[in-house]
Chains A and B, each alone.
Chain A
Amino acid sequence: EAGVAQSPRYKIIEKRQSVAFWCNPISGHATLYWYQQILGQGPKLLIQFQNNGVVDDSQLPKDRFSAERLKGVDSTLKIQPAKLEDSAVYLCASSPGTRNNEQFFGPGTRLTVL
């Protein structure tokens, strides 16, 4: 069974530039998560989708971050404009449902903002 795919794996941009990350969850998984993980910290949930609807985006900085999950499958996370403090690993995960379900994580995208 294929795992969660993410691209790119690495990205370096300058502050105020835009960047987008892509995630392809495990086939059939209804729930998709985007996390931000700053070095030395645990992952912080940015947004959670159930199919193509948003379940929780309370920690998403909506003035600069946006995410969508068209057709309830793939998802993109965008940052516009980027700030230095956005340097982190962005992890995508998927699970069959929501409550108490195991989450399967992708390898992440390491973003460096200069």
Chain B
Amino acid sequence: QQQVKQSPQSLIVQKGGISIINCAYENTAFDYFPWYQQFPGKGPALLIAIRPDVSEKKEGRFTISFNKSAKQFSLHIMDSQPGDSATYFCAASFEGGGNKLTFGTGTQLKVEL
């Protein structure tokens, strides 16, 4: 019920390409879906987040697509750059659960020149 499944585990994209990472969840009580970016040896940094009342949210080159009926959400990184190379985690939480984040397993993204 609390699990968030993330894929792919790793991803290699050419510079300028689109990086797509997918997540699926089971618990329909989840009402907050953030994406975090983590560089080696650093804490996760919030990238973008969405709530279930919208199907898409865009901030700069980053877009979250949300499909409530399928219980899936994805992160799209447009015009991927080498500086985007990092590990990305999706997560989910709900207020009734104390706002505890349940994390996906992470995707290691490498953007090649």
Is the pairing of A and B real? no
Which residues of B are in contact with A by a Cβ distance under 8 Å?
none
Which residues of A are in contact with B by a Cβ distance under 8 Å?
none
